[in-house]
Chain A
Amino acid sequence: MIELKNVTKYFHTHEGRKYILKEVSLTLPDLNIGIMGRNGSGKSTLMRMLGKIEFPNRGKIISPNSFSWPLALSGGFVGTMTGKANIKFVCRLYGKSKTETKEILAFVEDFTELNEYFYMPIKTYSAGMKARLGFGLSLAFDFDYLLIDETLSVGDVNFRNKAYNALKKKIENCHVLLVSHHMKMLREICQAGILVNEGELYYYEKIDDAIAHYQSVNKEWGRR
């Protein structure tokens, strides 16, 4: 369960404050929730706030559950360290023992199929490779909620299918908050949906309703 209490979040821009959320109070049940919105509407900011690495200007987000770090296209790794060293670092961060760390390293190396790149600095990675590493790593940990911010849409077809199947298996034991522009994937993974639009948060118990709203918003923007 995630409770948002009077959450306000804005950024300062040249034209004054740009609101992402304006006095939003909402309780989200324990479901797999798809998050939609136009680019720049604040989906990623919402994910980062849930992951406690971004903070609301006013209000509170309360939850008894554990959240993964937000799996986004940027961040999560130190560029000068190798993929392996980064994984080791995260294992230590989450207090894994030596044997557990070894298992996780073996799992991630096998799952991501990065081969020799696994032993090379992250700065030599492509965006897809970074996403592979991040996603593979997150599978090795247990959270109540997995926060996935579009990372599943960048890999090649082979990996996308593999990741998709792995995610389906993973959500048998945990929930996922998924930011995506792939309606098909959202429909298959998520039960409920959220639309972030112009400072408002719309929650729908059925993902199809959220998608319908999102598409009508898109059409409206297309007409402008």
Chain B
Amino acid sequence: MRISVGKLGLFWTFFEPFFQAFIFVSVHSFVLKASSYNYPLFMASGIIAFFMFRNILYGAKGAFLANRGLFSYRQVKPIDTIIARVLLESFLTGIVILTFLLYGYYFYYEVEAKNLLMVSLGYLWLILFASGFGLLVAVGNTFFASIGKFVTLLSFGLLVFSAVFYPVASLTPEIQKIILYNPLTHFMEMIHGYYVEGLDDRYVDYGYMAIWTLSLWFAGLWLYLRLEKRIISQ
């Protein structure tokens, strides 16, 4: 498990998003002028969501290989390991969010969401999206190790091209068009738009998000069911 890796595993779980958000906020305040919306809050909600996406993806990616020993017991199906890891990462994200909120309240910082219900929906949907993607990657990674390597590179690019630390509205129309092909951008816009006062979800295409989520799950499950036996006996 992630937490048990070294004595500082738990520390990094909390500190990593905090540190990243801090860097982006400081760069922003040095380089750019003050924005019309609450930028630290914008950063934190985006970075935490992105890290959750990335951690679910990474967790799922290695789930089959790391738990191969457990496939000796016929009760354990490979998909169980993915479910366990998705639950673990979601739970950890929940704790990280709570820590951020408590920290904000303690310093009388304005941390309340504009529409908490929609933000929660955004996070839950992102979990669903990430786990579908993760399942697909996990099955692929079992047979082609280069898929895992590619996903590591991909997630690095996604951090930059998913509107995590800038709103889509701040981009030129040409770039907006390109970046909105990226489904993760929509998730980030949705979470930002409903969290931060002064932003909205005008660029979010919910149908596009649903198609991506369904396609990933469909492809992932289809491949998984076809290859389950081979994954067990690998």
Contacts and interface: CB of A to CB of B under 8 A. Distances in A.
Decide whether A and B assemble into one complex. yes
A76 B72 contact: yes
B87 to A, nearest CB: 16
B76 A55 contact: no
Contacts of A78: 66-67, 69-70
Q: Is the interface of A mostly helix, strand, loop or mixed?
A: loop
Given A53-B233, A75-B68, A69 B4 contact: no
Nearest to B229: A55
A52 interface: yes
A48 B233 contact: yes
Contacts of B70: 76-78, 89
Contacts of A55: 229, 232-233
A2 to B, nearest CB: 15
Contacts of A80: 1, 4-5, 66
B130 to A, nearest CB: 23
Interface in B101-156: none
Interface in A65-110: 69-70, 72, 74-81, 89-90, 93-94
B73 A69 contact: yes
Given A52-B74, A53-B74, A93-B75, A75 B233 contact: no
A54 interface: yes
Nearest to B76: A93
Contacts of A51: 72, 74
B71 A53 contact: yes
A89 B233 CA distance: 21
Nearest to A95: B75
Nearest to B75: A93
A80 B69 CA distance: 11
B160 to A, nearest CB: 32
A49 to B, nearest CB: 9
Interface in B31-70: 66-70
Contacts of A94: 75
Interface of B: 1, 4-5, 66-76, 229, 232-233
The 3 tightest CB contacts between A and B, nearest first, are A52-B74, A54-B233, A75-B72
Given A53-B233, A76-B72, A90-B73, 15 more contacts: A53-B73, A53-B232, A55-B229, A55-B232, A69-B74, A70-B72, A74-B69, A75-B68, A76-B69, A76-B70, A76-B73, A78-B67, A79-B69, A93-B75, A94-B75
